[in-house]
Homo-oligomer: A and B are copies of this chain.
Amino acid sequence: VHRSMVSTQKSSSVRKHKRRRGNWGGSFMLFFLYSSSSALHSLTRGFTHSPTSSNIARRFGSKICWASPSPSQILDAVDSLKVDPDGFMERIRENNEPGMTPDFLPFFVDGLSLGHIKPSFAEHLRRFPDVFAVTSDAVSLSPELASLEDRSNAVDKATRALAAEGVIQGWRDEPYAVKPSFLAAPSLHVDRGAAACFGVQAWGVHVNGYVDGGPGEGLLMWVAERSATKPNYPGMLDHLVAGGQPAGLSALENVVKECGEEAGVPAALARGARPVGVVSYAAVRPKGLARETIFCYDLPLPRDFIPVAADGEVARFRRLPLERVAALVSATRAVKPNCNLVLIDFLLRHGHLTPDNCPAYEALAAGLRAPPPGCFAPN
């Protein structure tokens, strides 16, 4: 009963959301005719795509084709953007896009639930009964496979066979550690290209680089514009520093490394980044359930610090008043989807959004931490 309620509410809000979106298709040229803030506001809310389900994949998949105005154009006109009070919650919903919501099966390794598998992919795994036990309720790795090495070898053989047939696409030849939490020992290695089919958890770090302008000015935040040649989310707006978590580094070591590579932040300064919590999301993608946990860091910077795009992944940096960042997040889709979550978290933690000025305050806070996977299942 309760579970079906949750999914129904979710789907209906998504449908409503899509309907609203649909009204703006084709009006992008108006951006060049009107320069008033309300015209920009209206246009940026609808500038992505027509609302079919394949477009959801296009919008948040690995490649995005931008309609005008581009994120870069929006950034140039940011001073005329207004905050959209409903937009914050829309950004959270987009990151937790339920899509087609197949009834995912939990994936168990040695009694731990380490992923979620689409039923159609589970059918393929039935062909390897020595490796996977597939029931209507769950997929479990054979208990006979007791060591990390045995498990990884057996799964590697099965997944390579499926990759050769084209069932698994995008083989990477790079092992990915599957584990129940960030500091846990891995239970299994799968190829990074196959990881999404098992719906395993990913981890990343995002750094809010900001300057405290004092009582009069408030906070100013550094925003990066991603290079147009990046394979994922080219040209979109990003944090000062953000990245996936590689094996063998602590989260703070990763922050310090990425700070140096992506923004030229000296290590001594970067080590002042303070861990301030977690945002997480779960989205249905073509391959399976994508789940990511982002460790958020606040990095106060000196007023005279200027970031430098050291590795060519950033086209330019800009420093914006927090109010402008709130407008970008809420009224546009110019910001890389998961960065929106980290920025909404920042706006909540720094008192920019408050219980008294934001009707969705509680819903935003709840929405920044992904619900348990069961809540993604349909009724």
Q: What residues of chain A have their CB less than 8 Å away from a CB belonging to chain B? A: 1-3, 5-6, 9, 103-106, 113, 137-138, 181-184, 250-252, 274-278, 280, 293, 295, 348-351, 353-356, 358-363, 365-366, 368-377
User: Which one of B6, B138, B293, B362 contacts A372 once the chains associate, using CB atoms below 8 Å?
Assistant: B6
State whether A349 touches B277 (Cβ < 8 A).
yes
State whether B3 touches A182 (Cβ < 8 A).
no
State whether B377 touches A375 (Cβ < 8 A).
no
Question: How many monomers of this protein are in the complex?
Answer: 2
Instruction: Report Cα–Cα, A37/B353, bound state, in Å.
Output: 43
State whether A181 touches B104 (Cβ < 8 A).
no
Q: Looking at the assembled complex, report how far the CB atom of A33 sits from the nearest CB atom of chain B, in whole angstroms.
A: 37
Instruction: Report Cα–Cα, A278/B362, bound state, in Å.
Output: 7
Instruction: Report Cα–Cα, A211/B295, bound state, in Å.
Output: 26
State whether B369 touches A372 (Cβ < 8 A).
no
State whether B355 touches A295 (Cβ < 8 A).
yes
Q: Which of chain B's residues has its CB closest to A274's CB?
A: B351
30 residue pairs bridging A and B, Cβ less than 8 Å apart: A1-B103, A1-B106, A1-B138, A2-B3, A2-B373, A2-B376, A5-B113, A6-B372, A6-B374, A181-B360, A183-B355, A183-B358, A183-B359, A250-B355, A250-B356, A251-B356, A252-B354, A275-B348, A275-B355, A276-B350, A276-B351, A277-B365, A278-B362, A278-B366, A295-B355, A349-B349, A366-B369, A366-B370, A374-B375, A375-B375
User: Which one of B1, B295, B355, B377 contacts A377 once the chains associate, using CB atoms below 8 Å?
Assistant: B1
User: Which one of B9, B113, B137, B252 contacts A356 once the chains associate, using CB atoms below 8 Å?
Assistant: B252
State whether A377 touches B278 (Cβ < 8 A).
no
Asked, given contacts A351-B274, A362-B278, whether A106 binds B5 with beta carbons under 8 Å apart, the answer is yes
On chain B, the residues within 8 Å of A104 by CB distance are 2
Instruction: Report Cα–Cα, A374/B370, bound state, in Å.
Output: 15
Q: Which of chain B's residues has its CB closest to A365's CB?
A: B278
User: Which one of B354, B373, B374 contacts A275 once the chains associate, using CB atoms below 8 Å?
Assistant: B354
Q: Which of chain B's residues has its CB closest to A355's CB?
A: B251
Q: Looking at the assembled complex, report how far the CB atom of A103 sits from the nearest CB atom of chain B, in whole angstroms.
A: 7
On chain B, the residues within 8 Å of A6 by CB distance are 372, 374
Q: Looking at the assembled complex, report how far the CB atom of A187 sits from the nearest CB atom of chain B, in whole angstroms.
A: 15
Instruction: Report Cα–Cα, A370/B362, bound state, in Å.
Output: 11
Instruction: Report Cα–Cα, A252/B358, bound state, in Å.
Output: 13
Instruction: Report Cα–Cα, A285/B82, bound state, in Å.
Output: 45
Instruction: Report Cα–Cα, A289/B348, bound state, in Å.
Output: 27
State whether A2 touches B106 (Cβ < 8 A).
yes
Q: Looking at the assembled complex, report how far the CB atom of A348 sits from the nearest CB atom of chain B, in whole angstroms.
A: 5
On chain B, the residues within 8 Å of A9 by CB distance are 113
On chain B, the residues within 8 Å of A103 by CB distance are 1
Q: Looking at the assembled complex, report how far the CB atom of A6 sits from the nearest CB atom of chain B, in whole angstroms.
A: 5
Instruction: Report Cα–Cα, A350/B358, bound state, in Å.
Output: 24
Asked, given contacts A354-B251, A369-B366, whether A361 binds B278 with beta carbons under 8 Å apart, the answer is yes
On chain B, the residues within 8 Å of A252 by CB distance are 354-356
User: Which one of B3, B353, B366, B372 contacts A280 once the chains associate, using CB atoms below 8 Å?
Assistant: B366
Q: Which of chain B's residues has its CB closest to A2's CB?
A: B374
